[in-house]
Amino acid sequence: MKHSIAVERLYECRPIIKKIARHPWENRVTFNPACALVTDRDEMAAIVLKLPFSAATKKALRRQPALSFLLYRAQGERTGALDHSRSSLGLAVLSPKLELLARHKEPVLLPEKDYENLGVEDGRITKIGRRYVLVYTAYSSATPNNKIRIALASSTDFVTWEKHGLLKGDFNNINNKNGIIFERKIGRKFVMLHRPMEGKDAMAIHWAESDGIHKAWESRGVLMKPIGNQSFVDTWIGGGAPPLKLPDGRYLILYHIGNRKVGGSKEYDLGIAIGDPAAKDFIVKRMEPLMRPETAAETTGDPTLGVNNVLFVCGAYFYKGDLYFPYAGADSVVLGGKIPRSELEKFIAN
């Protein structure tokens, strides 16, 4: 689709979350943030009460019109107690316009279980009932090759998470990632996006259905295939943020586009699409790239753990009609993006 959307890189593309040298678990890179916006005042107050911050910080948080909770992926150094080169998830609290307000000094999810012993990675948050459900990539050691699968956790306060283990279903018998649950049922079923890394139509966005998030998921096959790009020798796609429901009942979908260049280097871009549950093929509109790496924070990563030329999104929300999304730059820092209401309306209408 020939159309351009004006995306605002917030705060002159300065990182809103970056490594902290004195924290061994996050003193290398911070990236791939999941997010959830809380607007209900009573719920905000209950969550703030449980946050591990000072009384003064909690008081300031309660004055906000809404709060954005980020669970970001972090990697650090090996210590005598733990190997922090394995990814864990940290917690930050931001204003709805993605201004950093507070940040937990400790990770809220560590790779403690056998099925995730090499890393807890790339979470996505969906609110189901009264709980926030986190779907994440569980990276584990295995023979002859390590395994990459989709796991589940849930919380009511973003600090204390109950792990529910690997998702049930055949799609978790192969390497699979980018699990994302829709915020509402479709046709009386919970629906999930995922991206198999092997098998038929690998490295494309697939979808699965279940009668309950803790029950078995049945894959329904490919939903979106990558579109070839003559500038690259190979292209693949994967889900980004949990789809956001539009007023007309359709869904706005952000996703990532991986590209391999001649010589083997990669570039990760962002794409945007609209899904219609009433349409035969569901995806009724898509545009890519929405964004490509341009700024220094997006094109140059940490020399040890980062990757150059990467944009990656794991969460987004609407606030006062605008779309806000924290995103990772070069697998190293968290940045902020915004699509104004006027730009969204043009894309949705055309």
CATH code, domain carrying 249: 2.115.10.20
Asked if residue 12 is part of any domain, the answer here is: yes
- Rounded Cα–Cα distance for residues 147 and 158 (Å): 27
Residue 103 lies in a domain: no
327 inside domain: yes
Domain count, the chain: 1
pTM value is 0.97
29 within a domain of the structure (yes/no): no
Query: 300 lies in a domain?
Result: yes
Question: Does any domain span residue 101?
Answer: no
Q: Please indicate, yes or no, if residue 14 is contained in any of the structural domains.
A: yes
**Residue pair 198/174 in contact by the 8 Å Cβ criterion:** yes
Residues in the chain: 350
- Domain span at residue 271 reads 1-18+240-350
From first to last of its 350 residues, the chain has per-residue pLDDT tens of 456 899 999 999 999 999 999 999 999 999 999 999 999 999 999 999 999 999 999 999 999 999 999 999 999 998 888 899 999 999 999 999 999 999 999 999 999 999 999 999 999 999 999 999 999 999 999 999 999 999 999 999 999 999 999 999 999 999 999 999 999 999 999 999 999 999 999 999 999 999 999 999 999 999 999 999 999 999 999 999 999 999 999 999 999 999 999 999 999 999 999 999 999 999 999 999 999 999 999 999 999 889 999 999 999 999 999 999 999 999 999 999 999 999 999 999 97
3-class SS at 139?
Answer: strand
Q: Tell me whether residue 265 is in a domain.
A: yes
Instruction: Give the strand pairing for 251-260 and 283-291.
Output: unpaired
Work out whether the CA dihedral 48, 73, 101, 6 comes out positive or negative.
negative
